[in-house]
Structure formats: structure tokens, C-alpha cells
């Protein structure tokens, strides 16, 4: 991870074979750590799951689905929140698995 971060500072550096990093369980553990504590990330997605049920087994299942190309992001759960002016704003809440994949 640190090596990838260092290369982001080099404007002309070209990444190669980044997809293999999606098979690294440590990426998902780090993504979980980075997203778990943020407010609002405990909201249930369309699948009804949250980060509370996150485990290494669940991460391995996610990696298996990525490897065999059966992983597909779920639609977001749509909800509406009130704004100060009384109008409502649309808010999309992705599933916790989708949050992990997209944090990477």
C-alpha cells in the first residue's frame, strides 16, 4: 500500500496490473478500517447488510466472486433526507461489499 501511495506523487508514473490487488485480503481489511468508523457507513444497503457482519470469510467470498467474474455491484438503496429549506435530497446508500470494493 505504501508503495502504491508513493507512486501517486509521481505525475508520469503508470500503474500496471492493479487488478491483482483486488485479490489481496489486506486491501479489504484496510478498506473496512477506513470506512467502518465514518458516520453513515453503518447504514444498511439494499441487501440489508452492514459492516457489523464483516469477517475474513466474507472478504474471501467477495474476492472469489471478483476472481470468477460473478461479482456485480448491487443497486443503491435510495432514501431522501430533508434539507434546511424543507426540500428533500436524494441519497444513495450502496451495500457494504460495494463500499469495500470501491474504497480500494
The residue segments making up the domain with residue 85 are 2-103
- The pLDDT confidence band at residue 7, using thresholds 50, 70 and 90, is confident
Residue 59 C-alpha cell reads as 472478504
The model's pLDDT over 28-76, given as tens digits with 9 standing for 90+, comes to 888 888 887 777 778 888 888 888 878 899 999 999 999 999 999 999 9
Residue 81 C-alpha cell reads as 433526507
> For residues 104 and 101, what is the distance between their CA atoms, to the nearest angstrom?
6
> For residues 40 and 14, what is the distance between their CA atoms, to the nearest angstrom?
34
Give me the pLDDT at residue 1, please: 66
The model's pLDDT over 78-100, given as tens digits with 9 standing for 90+, comes to 999 999 999 999 999 898 888 88
Burial class (CB in 10 A: 0-12, 13-18, 19+), 28: buried
Task: Look at 25 and 18; give whichever has higher pLDDT.
Answer: 25
Total count of domains within the chain: 1
- The pLDDT confidence band at residue 103, using thresholds 50, 70 and 90, is low
Give me the pLDDT at residue 65, please: 94
Amino acid at each position: 500500500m505504501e508503495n502504491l501511495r508513493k507512486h501517486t506523487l509521481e505525475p508520469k508514473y503508470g500503474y500496471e496490473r492493479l487488478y491483482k490487488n483486488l485479490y489481496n485480503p489486506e486491501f479489504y481489511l484496510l478498506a473496512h478500517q477506513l470506512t467502518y468508523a465514518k458516520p453513515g457507513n453503518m447504514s444498511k444497503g439494499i441487501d440489508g447488510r452492514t459492516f457489523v457482519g464483516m469477517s475474513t470469510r466474507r472478504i474471501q467470498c467477495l474476492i472469489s466472486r471478483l476472481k470468477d467474474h460473478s461479482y456485480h455491484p448491487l443497486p443503491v438503496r435510495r432514501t431522501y433526507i430533508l434539507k434546511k429549506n424543507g426540500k428533500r435530497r436524494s441519497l444513495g446508500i450502496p451495500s457494504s461489499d460495494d463500499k469495500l470494493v470501491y474504497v480500494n
